[in-house]
C-alpha cells in the first residue's frame, strides 16, 4: 500500500511540475518584472521575501499546533485518526515548503512569489481564526491572544504583499 502511495505521489508531483511550466508560459506574473531594475521594485521584492520567510515559520508553527492538538484528541489509539492527524499536519507543513520556494523567485523580482505568499497567508489566517474562536470559548486567554496576533500578522502581511506585487509590476502604489 505504501509503494502505491509513493507511486501516486511521484506521478502527481511530475504532473504538477508540467502544469507549473505551462502556467508560467501564460501567466505574466511568473516572469521577471519589467521594473526589476528599479530600486522600489527591488525593495518591494526583498520585503515580500522576508514576509514569505515569516510565512514559513507560521506554517511550521501551524503544523506543530495541529500535532499538539491531535495528541490531545487521542488520535494515537485510532489508526484512521492518526492518519487524519498526519494529513492535517502535513498541509501547513507543505504550505511552509511552498512559501520557502517562493523566496528565490522574489529575490529575482518575480511577482508570482508575492501572489502565492498572499494566498498562503489567507489559509494560515483561517487556521488562526479557528484558534482565536477556540480561545474565546475556552477558559485560557493564551490561545485567543495567539490567534489574534497571528490574524493581525496575516492581515498586515497580505496587505504588504499586495502592495509589493503592484510595485514589482511597476504599477504606482
The string of pLDDT tens digits covering residues 92-138 is 888 889 889 889 888 888 888 888 888 888 888 888 898 888 888 88
Secondary structure (3-state) at 111: coil
Q: What is the mean pLDDT of the segment spanning 1-19?
A: 83
pLDDT, residue 82, reads 73
Q: What is the pLDDT of residues 12-69, one digit of tens each?
A: 888 888 877 776 666 665 566 676 777 888 898 889 999 999 989 988 988 888 888 7
pLDDT, residue 111, reads 83
pLDDT, residue 112, reads 82
pLDDT, residue 151, reads 92
**CA-to-CA distance for 132 and 143, rounded, in angstroms?**
6
Q: What is the mean pLDDT of the segment spanning 140-163?
A: 90
* pLDDT grade for 173, boundaries at 50, 70 and 90: low
How far is CA 41 from its chain centroid? 22
CB contact at 8 A, 31 and 25: no
**CA-to-CA distance for 81 and 123, rounded, in angstroms?**
23
pLDDT, residue 6, reads 83
* pLDDT grade for 157, boundaries at 50, 70 and 90: very high
CB atoms near residue 84 (< 10 Å): 14
Spell out the residues 6+ positions from residue 131 whose beta carbon is closer than 8 angstroms to its own: 65, 143, 144, 146, 147, 150
* H or E stretch covering 148: helix 141-169
pLDDT, residue 166, reads 87
Residue 168, C-alpha cell as written in the block: 514589482
**CA-to-CA distance for 115 and 169, rounded, in angstroms?**
12
* pLDDT grade for 148, boundaries at 50, 70 and 90: very high
How far is CA 141 from its chain centroid? 26
pLDDT, residue 33, reads 66
**CA-to-CA distance for 122 and 60, rounded, in angstroms?**
15
Q: Which residues of 4-24 are buried (b: 16+ CB within 10 A; e: fewer)?
A: eeeeeeeeeeeeeeeeeeeee
Amino acid at each position: 500500500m505504501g509503494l502505491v502511495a509513493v507511486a501516486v505521489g511521484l506521478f502527481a508531483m511530475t504532473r504538477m511540475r508540467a502544469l507549473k511550466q505551462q502556467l508560467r508560459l501564460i501567466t505574466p506574473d511568473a516572469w521577471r518584472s519589467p521594473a526589476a531594475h528599479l530600486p522600489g521594485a527591488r525593495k518591494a521584492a526583498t520585503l515580500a521575501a522576508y514576509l514569505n520567510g515569516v510565512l514559513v515559520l507560521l506554517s511550521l508553527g501551524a503544523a506543530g499546533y495541529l500535532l499538539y492538538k491531535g495528541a490531545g484528541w487521542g488520535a494515537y489509539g485510532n489508526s484512521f485518526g492518526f492518519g487524519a492527524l498526519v494529513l492535517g499536519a502535513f498541509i501547513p507543513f507543505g504550505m511552509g515548503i511552498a512559501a520557502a520556494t517562493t523566496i528565490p523567485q522574489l529575490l529575482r523580482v518575480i511577482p508570482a512569489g508575492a501572489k502565492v505568499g498572499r494566498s498562503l497567508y489567507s489559509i494560515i489566517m483561517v487556521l488562526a481564526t479557528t484558534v482565536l474562536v477556540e480561545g474565546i470559548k475556552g477558559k485560557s486567554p493564551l490561545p485567543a491572544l495567539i490567534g489574534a496576533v497571528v490574524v493581525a500578522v496575516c492581515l498586515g502581511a497580505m496587505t504588504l504583499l499586495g502592495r509589493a506585487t503592484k510595485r514589482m509590476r511597476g504599477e504606482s502604489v
